[in-house]
Structure 1
Amino acid sequence: MTETINTASTKEYVSYHVKDRIGYITLTRPEKRNALNFDMVTELKQAFVAAEDDEACKVIVLRAEGKVFCSGADLEFLQRLQEYDYHDNLVDSTHLMQLFRLIYTLKKVVIAQIHGHAIAGGCGLAALCDFSFAVPEARFGYTEVKIGFIPAIVKVFLLRKIGEAKARQLLLTGDLVSAEEAKAIGLINYVVSAGELEEQVNAFAQKLCKENSRQAMEVTKEMIARVQEMSLEDGLQYAAEMNAVARGSEDCQKGIASFLNKESLSW
């Protein structure tokens, strides 16, 4: 297949481009280990919104330049925190919360391509993605408690993803774990060699693009986010209603017709 680039944009800390229906959001601050500051969070929010609205993009890959995937908060930012009052801190904290919520609730599937360490806020980014591939050498963890800080925002999502026991282990110790350990507790999905990382991520993303309905993945993601807040009865009622809606969708009708007629289907 001939590769085509449909959309591209580059800002100070983040770049975005689309190739064969895969939208690549890349952290481009390797000299600072892709550490997060206010402007970088802003650019990430803008990139994810652009990818969600981009018809040329079906699946998103989050990746980074340099040796480290993301080292968490920028050192200069941490120094400025000491001068912030409550209002300033709330504004900045809300800014990061909005990015995390955006990734978690995004309509499109997001795959993390983790080629190096993902620590603190960087580990938060990795945990929020729907799927994650990491090299064996990568380390993961939330080190906030070691500097008197708290991993407050990511905790909301981490409890959902890996459960209370494993979340307590990571958040209260602040210890780093290997990629294999991260996989074992459900923090990431796959561990692959550095030489195969890009190829494996691309193949997985293309598989989702070709084999799965965009609409079905979008609704499934939405339901995963919403149903956990509901009681058993409300969740089941919501599921039944969404099931009924899905049956009348164009994608479902197309898929069932192809299945019944034993025709190959490419989305």
Structure 2
Amino acid sequence: MDFQYIQLEIAEQTATIWLNRPEVHNAFNPVLIEELQSCFDALNQNNQVRVVILAGRGKSFSAGADLNWMKAQGEAELAENEADALKLAQMLNALATLKQPTIARVHGAALGGGMGLASACDMCIASSEAKFATSEVRLGLAPSTISPYVIRAIGARQASRYFLTAERISAKHARDIGLVHEVTEPEQLDQKIQDIIDALLLGGAAAQTASKQLIAMVATEQVNAELLQSTAKHIAHLRQGAEAKDGLNAFLNKQSPSWVKTTSEQ
């Protein structure tokens, strides 16, 4: 696939998507949003890719929206403005609902929409030099399209502070409030991500997709009879699947399941 503002690399069952507008700190514009949407859609259909990494070229992960684009949309007709914003919202949802586990590799600034991308990924691994912020209020805006994912990551209480103050959040504090899973020194960032990829590849692909769906299904629900029934159906369906039968038989026979590649197969 040919892109103008992103680069896609696929190796050893892992796809790495590089945001590639380093001269503007990987800021969003309509082309970048469209390219990410197309890339996510293609990867969602690719059964050979087991893990998706989102990363940024240059000094920053992403500084969020291109301000010239945002200004132009503010001057457009309301219907055009809404349609444009919906494309960003749909792209973030495509990332959040990818069937593969997703990891944000954050090495520099992740501001506004950049923090939204990091939040929409299943996991966020950050360099100790990374900085985060929902900076929209300082531009007279609100973090509207990224809000479902940021609030899912840090909760409404923390959002009540950072959506309103737009304070910069250090990598360490981002870990403390739940946005970041691991903080490493810059030179150790890729090794930490590789460690997580290695752990992910030991799990079944269908089981991981089902686990992502399970989290979405139960995260905001009360424990009641309906939820108990839903979770029972969820595991019953998985137990009848070929992947579970393979995995359980392999474990009981002290073997590796078919999805785990041996050294000779890699």
Q: Does 1:88 align with 2:85?
A: no
Mapped to 1, the partners of 2:70 and 2:123 lie a distance apart of: 29
Q: CA deviation at 1:26?
A: 0.8
Contact kept, 8 Å, 1:70 with 1:117, in 2: the verdict is yes
Look up the match of 1:23.
15
Contact kept, 8 Å, 1:35 with 1:70, in 2: the verdict is yes
Look up the match of 1:35.
27
Structure 2: segments with no counterpart, 5+ residues: 261-266
| Equivalent residue for 2:208, pick from 208, 217, 225 | 217
Structure 1: segments with no counterpart, 5+ residues: 1-8
Mapped to 2, the partners of 1:32 and 1:163 lie a distance apart of: 30
Structural RMSD (CA): 1.4
TM-score w.r.t. length of structure 2: 0.92
Q: Does 1:129 align with 2:124?
A: no
Q: CA deviation at 1:229?
A: 5.3
Contact kept, 8 Å, 2:52 with 2:103, in 1: the verdict is yes
- Alignment coverage as a number of residue pairs: 258
| Equivalent residue for 1:117, pick from 88, 98, 109 | 109
AA paired with 2:218? V
Contact kept, 8 Å, 2:74 with 2:81, in 1: the verdict is no
Look up the match of 1:228.
219
Look up the match of 2:94.
102
Look up the match of 1:4.
none
Mapped to 2, the partners of 1:252 and 1:82 lie a distance apart of: 51
Mapped to 2, the partners of 1:156 and 1:112 lie a distance apart of: 17
Q: Does 1:161 align with 2:153?
A: yes
Contact kept, 8 Å, 1:70 with 1:118, in 2: the verdict is yes
| Equivalent residue for 2:70, pick from 53, 65, 78 | 78
Q: Does 1:260 align with 2:252?
A: yes
Look up the match of 1:151.
143
Deviations 1:38-95 (A, max 9, x none): 1100000111111221222111011110001000110211221331121111101110
Deviates more, 1:53-62 or 1:181-190: 53-62
Mapped to 2, the partners of 1:164 and 1:82 lie a distance apart of: 28
Mapped to 2, the partners of 1:42 and 1:208 lie a distance apart of: 28
Contact kept, 8 Å, 2:61 with 2:106, in 1: the verdict is yes
Q: CA deviation at 1:177?
A: 0.6
Mapped to 1, the partners of 2:85 and 2:74 lie a distance apart of: 14
| Equivalent residue for 2:49, pick from 47, 57, 72 | 57
| Equivalent residue for 1:45, pick from 17, 22, 37 | 37
Say which SS state the counterpart of residue 232 (structure 1) adopts.
coil
Say which SS state the counterpart of residue 4 (structure 2) adopts.
coil
Among all aligned residue pairs of Structure 1 and Structure 2, give the percentage whose two residues are the same amino acid.
Answer: 31
Say which SS state the counterpart of residue 251 (structure 2) adopts.
helix
Look up the match of 1:188.
180
Contact kept, 8 Å, 1:22 with 1:206, in 2: the verdict is no
Q: CA deviation at 1:230?
A: 4.4
AA paired with 1:137? E
Deviates more, 1:149-158 or 1:117-126: 149-158
After superposing on structure 2, the runs of 4+ consecutive aligned residues of structure 1 that deviate more than 6 Å are: none
Say which SS state the counterpart of residue 52 (structure 2) adopts.
strand
